[in-house]
Amino acid sequence: MSGEHASSTVAVRVRRLEERLVAAGVVGDDQLDAILTKLLNGASPVNGARVVARAWTDPGFKERLLADANTALPELGLSMAGGLQEQRLKVVENTETEHNVLVCTLCSCYPIGLLGPSPSWYKSEAYRSRVVRDPRSVLAEFGLELPDGVTVTVWDSSAESRYMVLPRRPDGTDARGEEALARLVTREGLIGTAAV
């Protein structure tokens, strides 16, 4: 099944659900449009990069972020409230011995507000099934070769829970401030398919 066909199938199913919700009087088209506008307005990997840069420079923020990301995000004017309910965010940290990668095996659940719209490969059936079974090979296809001693953990997002990777801070960046550090962070780094 091609990615384009899969995307169109999902779009048709989403529209059918929207139509049923409107017909049942649960929500109106205007409300759905407002929710989508609010969700996508300002949705960018720049937001996730700001979170990472703050965590790299502020140990207290990093500790709060890893303990409870939903309560730490407002410190940067961000939140996981974009739709009808707030989604739970868990930030997982890459270390010398552990690397994290994100997937949604059922569809394409993803923290849009922090990472921007998801890349097409994230929604593909091939990525969703293969990264769970053989994450090292998938990461290698992205150009990320990890040493044998590094454990790879795959985090599966759901409708209620989203994940974001806190990449390792690159060596030689101690003198850089938050803005300069944020410019180093990519969407792929926040997903775990690339190092920063």
Give the model's pLDDT for residue 103: 97
The better pLDDT of the pair 194, 82 is held by 194
* Shared domain check, 30 and 48: no
Handedness of CA 20, 22, 27, 33 (dihedral sign): positive
* Shared domain check, 74 and 89: yes
Which CATH number is 182's domain given? 3.90.330.10
* Shared domain check, 109 and 22: no
Active site residues: 104, 107-109
For residues 10-38, average pLDDT:
75
* Shared domain check, 82 and 33: no
* Shared domain check, 171 and 102: yes
Structure confidence at residue 3 as a pLDDT band (50, 70, 90): very low
Rg (CA), the chain: 18
Of the candidates 86, 83, 76, 79, which has an alpha carbon nearest to the alpha carbon of residue 38?
83
Element (H, E) at 190: helix 187-191
Contacts with 45 (C-beta within 8 Å, 6 or more apart), sequence order? 114, 115, 116, 185, 186, 187, 190
Asked whether residue 133 is domain-assigned, the answer is yes
Tokens at residue 96, please? 């010398």
For residues 19-45, average pLDDT:
75
Structure confidence at residue 25 as a pLDDT band (50, 70, 90): confident
Asked whether residue 70 is domain-assigned, the answer is yes
Structure confidence at residue 5 as a pLDDT band (50, 70, 90): very low
Burial 117-127 (b: 16+ CB within 10 A, else e): ebbebbbbeeb
How many domains are there within the chain? 2
Domain housing 26: 1-41
Asked whether residue 196 is domain-assigned, the answer is no
Asked whether residue 160 is domain-assigned, the answer is yes
Burial 160-169 (b: 16+ CB within 10 A, else e): ebbbbbbbbb
For residues 98-104, average pLDDT:
97
Place of tokens 């990615």: 3
For residues 7-18, average pLDDT:
66
Asked whether residue 139 is domain-assigned, the answer is yes
